[in-house]
Amino acid sequence: MEQTTQQAKLILEDGAVFEGYAFGAIKPVSGGVVFNTGMVGYPESLTDSSYRGQLLTMTYPLMGNYGVPNEERDEYGLMKYFESDRIQAEALIVSEWSENYSHWNGKKSLSDWLKEQNIPGLSGIDTRALTKRLRERGVMLGKIVYDDDNAVEFVDHDLRNLAAEISVKEPITYGNGSKRVTIVDCGVKNNIIRALLQRDITVIRCPWNYDFLKENPDGILISNGPGDPKTCGETIANVRRALKNHTPILGICLGSQILGLAAGADTYKLKYGHRSHNQPCVETGTKRCYITVQNHGYAVDADPLPEDWRQWFYNDNDKTNEGIIHISKPFFGAQFHPEASPGPDDTEFIFDMFLRAMS
Ligand SMILES: NC(=O)CC[C@H](N)C(=O)O
């Protein structure tokens, strides 16, 4: 492992200071500090739009050891090894990073990638102590600074409509499958698009506030995305209109929250969120427990849902809602990520359920 000698620090909203060393770009930044307990997957997580506006702490102590993959695109023009075209997190906080990466597809070091994308890294941090603090006090705003503690103010990016910033501006069509699905793009991960394309579906990726019903789709997928779901008012209104019909709707993560809000549920911010590859989710009824991939800070309060909806999954750690389902219409939302990337794909069957609902 190599460390630069430039000192840098993380200052939390509550005044706590964690001193370490800079790597990647040198740039003072601020945002919500979150932690992910996955052991691998930094290329996918950093490019997952749902991390936009966040300072991502990886609790696994060694990062960068397999480098950063190549930038190849698939036949649809989607990057094969990343979840979007650029790093979306504001910064990366680690204990150690490895300059000497080794992997068949490792093309550059983590630090070089961060530099190239103008994203700061902070190493030499006791990420265990930081995570314990966030777990005890709840997620907090933080900033990474160098010589001047006041180089940036604390900023809560979630107050903005981040989904609008990241969404496509015009509809884009992918593939030529027999069913047509509109993806409401609030920051969609490439692997969600791919999961549909692999199932003989034409994907129409629409802006977050697009009137997708005019496309007369066979199915509607509301994507994952950054920020507070309540900032996506126009999407919620469009989904509410779609609930009057019978066209299948699948919500994933932010999409499940938007589906919930459209159906009459509420959403709230969790104390410290779920970000890992091993979150246990129990299916209501079957009591079957799935190991799921997660990255969310908000959750659905399913209690206010009308009687024709029910809780589909709950988290076995903290018993919070992890999915909702309509009792007779083909409407369902998963708070976790059935497309995995990174992490296990045990819940990929949800895409098959969506496909069956369309036939
Ligand atoms: N992965 C996601 O879609 C995240 C949804 C939402 N921004 C949250 O943090 O809860």
Q: In this predicted complex, what is the ipTM?
A: 0.98
Q: What is the pLDDT of residue 312?
A: 98
Angle 254-263/233-242 helices, nearest 10 degrees?
Answer: 60
Spatial contact of 205 and 183, defined as CB atoms under 8 Å apart = yes
Of 44, 90, 322, 339, catalytic? 339
Of 253, 277, 296, 326, catalytic? 253
- How confident is the model over 193-208, as pLDDT tens digits? 999 999 999 999 999 9
Instruction: Tell me the C-alpha distance between 45 and 38, whole Å.
Output: 10
Q: What is the pLDDT of residue 218?
A: 98
Q: Summarize the confidence of residues 218-232 as an average pLDDT.
A: 98
**Which of 45, 272, 295, 322 has most ligand 1 atoms within 8 Å of CB, for mutation?**
295
Q: What is the pLDDT of residue 1?
A: 46
Spatial contact of 109 and 22, defined as CB atoms under 8 Å apart = no
Any catalytic annotation for residue 96? no
Q: Summarize the confidence of residues 216-222 as an average pLDDT.
A: 98
Q: How far is ligand 1, taken at its centre, from the CA of residue 256, in Å?
A: 9
Q: What is the pLDDT of residue 5?
A: 82
Spatial contact of 310 and 325, defined as CB atoms under 8 Å apart = yes
Q: Which of 359, 90, 29, 78 has its CA nearest to residue 226? A: 90
Inform me whether the pLDDT recorded for 2 exceeds 60: no
Instruction: Tell me the C-alpha distance between 185 and 168, whole Å.
Output: 7
Binding-site residues, ligand 1, Cβ < 6 A: 50, 224-227, 253-254, 295-298
Give, using CA atoms, the residue closest to atom 3 of ligand 1: 224
Inform me whether the pLDDT recorded for 6 exceeds 50: yes
Buried b or exposed e, range 307-335, using 16+ CB within 10 angstroms: eebebbbbbeeeebbbbbbbeebbbbbbb
Any catalytic annotation for residue 307? no
Place of tokens 């983590």: 110
Q: How far is CA 240 from CA 233, 245, 259, in A?
A: 11, 10, 8
Please list, in sequence order, all residues whose beta carbon lies within 8 angstroms of the beta carbon of residue 164, skipping any fewer than 6 positions away.
208, 209, 231, 232
Ligand 1 atom nearest residue 186's Cα: 3
Inform me whether the pLDDT recorded for 331 exceeds 90: yes
Domains of the chain (ranges; CATH) run 7-159 (3.50.30.20), 162-358 (3.40.50.880)
Counting Cβ atoms within 10 Å, is residue 231 exposed (0-12), middle (13-18) or buried (19+)? buried
Q: What is the pLDDT of residue 4?
A: 67
Whether residue 81 is annotated as binding a ligand: the answer is no
Place of tokens 């995305």: 225
Q: What is the pLDDT of residue 160?
A: 95
3-state DSSP assignment of residue 176: coil
**Which of 36, 296, 301, 335 has most ligand 1 atoms within 8 Å of CB, for mutation?**
296
Ligand 1 atom nearest residue 226's Cα: 7
- How confident is the model over 58-67, as pLDDT tens digits? 999 999 999 9
Q: How far is ligand 1, taken at its centre, from the CA of residue 51, in Å?
A: 8
Q: What is the pLDDT of residue 3?
A: 53
Inform me whether the pLDDT recorded for 169 exceeds 90: yes
SS3 content of the chain, % helix, strand, coil (to 5): 20, 35, 45
Please list, in sequence order, all residues whose beta carbon lies within 8 angstroms of the beta carbon of residue 200, skipping any fewer than 6 positions away.
177, 178, 179
How crowded is residue 122: how many other Cβ atoms within 10 Å of its Cβ?
25
Whether residue 254 is annotated as binding a ligand: the answer is yes
- How confident is the model over 241-290, as pLDDT tens digits? 999 999 999 999 999 999 999 999 999 999 999 999 999 999 999 999 99
Any catalytic annotation for residue 339? yes
Q: How far is ligand 1, taken at its centre, from the CA of residue 162, in Å?
A: 11
Whether residue 167 is annotated as binding a ligand: the answer is no
Spatial contact of 209 and 238, defined as CB atoms under 8 Å apart = yes
**Which of 161, 256, 298 has most ligand 1 atoms within 8 Å of CB, for mutation?**
298
Mean pLDDT across the chain: 97
